[in-house]
Structure 1
């Protein structure tokens, strides 16, 4: 049985990201949550021209550097410049132009005086306070200079990045294809949510939870469905999955029961098993294997069947593996935060233990609040609305309220 750290190292080292150019495609600008495959440069400066950051008056600093309320400087207004208008005048000594936020600075002017520091009288303006030299002027190229790298490859495209691409007039973008993740559940006791429950049966919630998580990550879930505890049926399902998917997730069938066939099937399909169990709670019966399929390295995760165990192992190992595989260069690793627990946390101390709850920021300090109710691996109910897993290290049985705890973020 591997430690969590050794299991993590094994999985992440064997996870190789998609490659450029064979794993890329061209998409349109509104394709959010995709991974950029090539760096972006622009032929535009940002800002595109010197412009005003304030409603006010464009002036020559040399004219107004001594202005004050007792001795205001009086300038002639020679032009009004709204946003989107090309100035026609060159500001001479003793002159000013009325200007609005975002408008192009006229030639000759180097400073903007905000309108609150002025008094207008017809076509003249009194400057009541001396501005700083070049105040409220956004200079061309001060944010970004044309020809430099604007966005690096290997980042996720969310709203801010989409805005940058739109501003740079990049309407077609090279991104990595979506990883395909096959998802199947095993067990004769499982039924679909729209079926009537008979004694001894349970609803297959894992299929839906895992598909939702895969979708949230920008990958493509391939929902295989429920496979009975039949060796031949399960072997066919896994064989089909590794021919169509990049990553396969099965839940159930990885323990030591008489109907747990996953490891036998992996071996018979020429897969290599790297992990059979992990010293963690919940999530001990985790299988991780790889298949060499048509020069593709397929990742296989045999997750525990218990709903909480399946999700905890997904968050701890599968989610970062999918993120790395998808082409993310940074920020694919699990994100841990040091927090203070508001309640006592308990563990048997034999395995690294994960308990779920809510992480919040209170007066600049992260706090972890344990979810109420039983922390059984079969209790899916109190996992709802949680966003973090607190980690109790091996050998530690109690973390008292008010003490530090390492917390894995699992939500927004």
Structure 2
């Protein structure tokens, strides 16, 4: 069922994280031999374990890594009662009646200093943000409400007890889990871990990926092309994609279109990698040898073929100790299937916690047509917002899987459901943003 039909009349915004309906290709007669996208993802999930090996690293070297064990606070946060702003610390009981109030200033405490003595009744302390509250004080009056006159703090409004004080442990108690295992460490987690008092943490070792680009026609960029040759796009593209997710590329090669060469290359790669990715050779033509090579290398296929456009030949299986993912050879199809299938697979393998889908709903700025059967993912560009603040995207015409130009400058992929032929102007569509 189309997303736009299901959501008619609902005020959807870009802030909603959604569990969206199926892709609409489950019951299409022409795709009975192909797996729906949701089922392909489920099979990948079920077949994918998690890396168990951990390593200890200094916190400032863990950006982008997956946390292997819960991080617990070694200290309370904040570690002591402190002032939330610049002002004057006093006893609320010294201000029992209507103002104005006049209290002598007897000491001064800045951040990083300790109180010289407990606060005596009937006095106040000049205090600054982050400084410890002196014993006996229970309230801070902000400096904007106070005037100084002859060493006296003068203010007219009776304060509330406890105002402008951050209590010890109110943010984090000793032993609290600050960051759970499975969390990818960003600058936010790094800051929280450091604030919790840890210098080192346990992280999952890096995911090891091997990339084999098949095709006797491939040449490296910069080389002179011989008749019938093309430049290898998928190799550099996947190398950068692997780096972007923080994995380690342990092998990269181009392999000619022979079953023997492919079988040998995949068998060798499976000995050093957690995941072997190939591009090309996964269709059913006479020169498509990946499926046969997997079997010859002692591996097996879980599925071959998904009801998606582009990317129908996508294949998944195992070779020895390594998982296998066969991406199509056309660069756009390889990019789309990397985004939709390889990244979630890598996330699970690396021990990262399974998160909510990051897809959101957007409006189409033009009517759309789509051939039913397979769900289609098209590059889309955010072009503004409608009068209700909802994001509006522009999609070009159907993209052929060998055309790279439509990807340039795009913000993400939009899914056209497999059971919908036409979508009117303003239809609500699932949008998967590119990262970075």
- The TM-score, its normalising length taken from structure 1, stands at 0.93
Who is 2:43 aligned against?
10
8 Å Cα contact 2:251/2:269 also seen in 1? no
Aligned equivalent of 2:223, options 175, 180, 195: 195
Who is 2:349 aligned against?
325
Matches within 5 A, 1:216-295: 216-291=244-319, 293=320
8 Å Cα contact 1:119/1:128 also seen in 2? no
Distance 1:175 1:310, change over 3 A: same
Aligned equivalent of 2:178, options 118, 133, 150: 150
Between structures 1 and 2, the one with greater strand share: 1
What SS does the corresponding residue of 2:88 show, helix, strand or coil?
Answer: strand
Who is 2:54 aligned against?
24
What SS does the corresponding residue of 1:267 show, helix, strand or coil?
Answer: helix
Who is 1:55 aligned against?
86
8 Å Cα contact 1:64/1:127 also seen in 2? no
Q: For residues 360 and 46 of structure 1, what CA distance do their matches in structure 2 show?
A: 44
What SS does the corresponding residue of 1:156 show, helix, strand or coil?
Answer: coil
What SS does the corresponding residue of 2:271 show, helix, strand or coil?
Answer: helix
What SS does the corresponding residue of 2:337 show, helix, strand or coil?
Answer: helix
Distance 1:59 1:272, change over 3 A: same
Q: CA deviation at 1:358?
A: 3.0
8 Å Cα contact 1:371/1:383 also seen in 2? no
Q: CA deviation at 1:372?
A: 4.4
CA RMSD of aligned residues (A): 1.8
Q: How far does the alpha carbon of each residue in 1:42-66 deviate from its partner, in whole angstroms, 9 at most, with x for none? A: 2301001000010111111122364
The answer to whether the aligner puts 1:41 opposite 2:72 as a matched pair is yes
Q: For residues 160 and 35 of structure 2, what CA distance do their matches in structure 1 show?
A: 64
Q: For residues 327 and 93 of structure 2, what CA distance do their matches in structure 1 show?
A: 72
Residues 91-100 or 385-394, more deviating: 385-394
Matches within 5 A, 1:175-186: 175-186=203-214
Structure 2 portions without partners, runs of 5+: 1-33
Q: For residues 265 and 275 of structure 1, what CA distance do their matches in structure 2 show?
A: 15
Q: How far does the alpha carbon of each residue in 1:136-193 deviate from its partner, in whole angstroms, 9 at most, with x for none? A: 1000000011022222111111111111121222111111111101011111221111
Q: CA deviation at 1:281?
A: 0.4
- The TM-score, its normalising length taken from structure 2, stands at 0.88
Structure with the larger RCO, 1 or 2 (CA within 8 Å, 6+ apart): 2
8 Å Cα contact 1:34/1:176 also seen in 2? yes
Q: How far does the alpha carbon of each residue in 1:233-291 deviate from its partner, in whole angstroms, 9 at most, with x for none? A: 22221111111100011101111222111000111122111111111100001111113
Aligned equivalent of 1:120, options 102, 125, 148: 148
Q: For residues 103 and 360 of structure 1, what CA distance do their matches in structure 2 show?
A: 48
Q: For residues 199 and 360 of structure 1, what CA distance do their matches in structure 2 show?
A: 41
Structure 1 portions without partners, runs of 5+: none
Q: For residues 382 and 183 of structure 1, what CA distance do their matches in structure 2 show?
A: 25
